Structure 1
Amino acid sequence: MKFGKGSSSIDVNVATRAALFHEVTQRLAARDGFALATLNLDHLSKLPENAVFAEAYKAHDLVVADGRPIVWMSQIAHQPLELMPGSDMIVPLCELAARSHVSVALIGSSDEALSGAAAALCHKVSGLEVAFTHAPPYGFEPTGDAADAIFADLAASGAGLCFIALGAPKQEIFAARGRTQAPEIGFASIGAGLDFLSGHQVRAPKIMRMLALEWLWRAAQSPRRMIPRYAKCFAILPGLFVEAFQLRRQ
């Protein structure tokens, strides 16, 4: 299903977890790299304002639905998508990597968070190897020389799957560049997922996630940063629902 209009429109091209895991398994086995993005309302609010972000998003091989509103709109349009938040995909993707004898890498956040996330993942996933971790400094540019140095280190590490926790749009821009700089590696952008695993951030309780209230939890945790973000997300909702109804009629 396609979301948005014009040059910033994005096609969610993987509808189910089963389809995603099948595709990732095949690519890991063949050492055929990929870029995986999890589309949410925050991304949709930023894409029309950032041509570099939009171009990077279009370079992704796999795009899934992250966020209840995305799923609701797909249901209205009669093109249903499964909910696949990036944070929920980390452990299952690590299980696929371990079964394929592929090591993983963690990029972003802080050294302490990456260390904690690596330990948590190795505890949860038998046989998993974390081959490389790197926490870029403040002000890191995903298309600069520092990024190219990371890609070189990634390739040398032998990792076949890299989780990126740099926040949007940096993580998606980094992943898109990785498709050419490290073409044998799969890149998955997962936002705050590594911080959740390490305990550096506390994720909303499951009941709030089930009720589509995770945004409220995050806004309460960091109001100065999150409330303006969610205000922009709510502002684009009416137009997106209109587009979904138009797709339904078609």
Structure 2
Amino acid sequence: MIQTKQLFGLPFVDATPSQWYTHIKTILHDRGKAFLVTANPELVLRALREPSYEAILRRATFITPDGIGVTAASKRMGSPLTATLPGIETARELLRTADALKKRVFLLGGRPEVMKSLIRQLSIRFPNIRFVGTFHGFGKTEEATRAIVEADADLVLVALGAPKQEEWIASVYDQVDHGIFIGVGGAFDVWSGHSKRAPKLFRRLKLEWLYRISTHPRGFEKLKDLLLFLTLVLRKKSTLS
């Protein structure tokens, strides 16, 4: 049983990486169903600003602390989380398990040129996965849902970026009877070779967020959000009011 702790009004997974990966692998093995959200400070702020988005996050099966910002905040707020659980690592563990179990995987989001090279790269890395469908993901929710159901997908990776990917998963989740759904942000670009993940030094120092901000077109806006999040944490406040 995975434990959770409340932070900013949301139930965050409180587990070691080993405990977490074992749990989600079991769900995949058993053809279970789960809606996973990997929440960084930007997602937390959006939830605090937008009640409708907060409601979507509350529908998730699990919310994990994606980045040192959330785990550091948990310590400051007096409810320390056990570990940071990066979303890209969670997705990678799910792909490894899907490969070992010869599961069916559906990919949603990403530009056509990205999807083409993504399938090629993932097929090399995970030769036993059955990639049963792709969809660009923008609009046409009913068509995408039908494609996923017909494909009988065990794992659905959604790369629309926040908040679109969480909104999209929430809109289709009740229409399927099994499968793990997880938003993976820009992971498709990284895995396909169209963009680079933060260098190992940044990852080792838990500063991947800094690399992403410095290289993102909206980096300044993201930095402002990060400073606002830091202000809330320093004041030990869980709301924007």
TM-score, length of structure 2 as denominator length: 0.88
Percent identity for Structure 1 against Structure 2: 22
Could you tell me which amino acid in structure 1 is paired with residue 159 of structure 2?
A
Question: Which residue in 1 is equivalent to 2:170?
Answer: 176
2-structure distance, mates of 1:220, 1:13:
28
1-structure distance, mates of 2:115, 2:107:
7
Three-state SS of the structure 1 residue aligned to 2:182 is strand
Instruction: Spell out, residue by residue over 1:198-227, the C-alpha distance to the aligned partner (whole angstroms, 9 max, x if none).
Output: 11222221102222333332333234x121
The answer (yes or no) to whether the contact 1:37–1:62 under 8 Å persists in 2 is yes
Q: Displaced runs of 4+ in structure 1, greater than 6 A?
A: none
Three-state SS of the structure 2 residue aligned to 1:12 is strand
Could you tell me which amino acid in structure 2 is paired with residue 193 of structure 1?
A
Three-state SS of the structure 2 residue aligned to 1:35 is strand
2:226 to 225, 230, 233: 233
2-structure distance, mates of 1:96, 1:228:
37
Q: CA deviation at 1:230?
A: 2.2
Cα 1:14–1:131, aligned 2, differ >3 Å: closer, same or farther?
farther
CA RMSD of aligned residues (A): 2.1
**Is residue 58 of structure 2 the alignment partner of residue 58 of structure 1?**
yes
Compare 100-109 and 214-223 and name the one that shifted more: 214-223
The answer (yes or no) to whether the contact 1:87–1:190 under 8 Å persists in 2 is yes
Instruction: Spell out, residue by residue over 1:30-66, the C-alpha distance to the aligned partner (whole angstroms, 9 max, x if none).
Output: 3221101111001011112222211110011111110
Question: Which residue in 1 is equivalent to 2:128?
Answer: 127
Which structure: greater helix fraction?
1
Question: Which residue in 2 is equivalent to 1:95?
Answer: 96
Could you tell me which amino acid in structure 2 is paired with residue 111 of structure 1?
P
The answer (yes or no) to whether the contact 2:7–2:74 under 8 Å persists in 1 is no
The answer (yes or no) to whether the contact 2:137–2:144 under 8 Å persists in 1 is no
Q: CA deviation at 1:110?
A: 0.9
Q: Which ranges in structure 1 are unaligned for 5 or more consecutive residues?
A: 141-145, 245-250
2-structure distance, mates of 1:44, 1:194:
23
Could you tell me which amino acid in structure 2 is paired with residue 197 of structure 1?
W
Question: Which residue in 2 is equivalent to 1:247?
Answer: none
Q: CA deviation at 1:108?
A: 0.8
2-structure distance, mates of 1:2, 1:148:
34
TM-score, length of structure 1 as denominator length: 0.85
1:195 to 165, 168, 189: 189
Q: CA deviation at 1:71?
A: 1.7
Instruction: Spell out, residue by residue over 1:9-31, the C-alpha distance to the aligned partner (whole angstroms, 9 max, x if none).
Output: 21103522222222222222332
Question: Which residue in 2 is equivalent to 1:74?
Answer: 74
2-structure distance, mates of 1:23, 1:213:
27
The answer (yes or no) to whether the contact 2:13–2:65 under 8 Å persists in 1 is no
Question: Which residue in 2 is equivalent to 1:150?
Answer: 144
Aligned length: 233
2-structure distance, mates of 1:78, 1:218:
27
1-structure distance, mates of 2:86, 2:121:
19
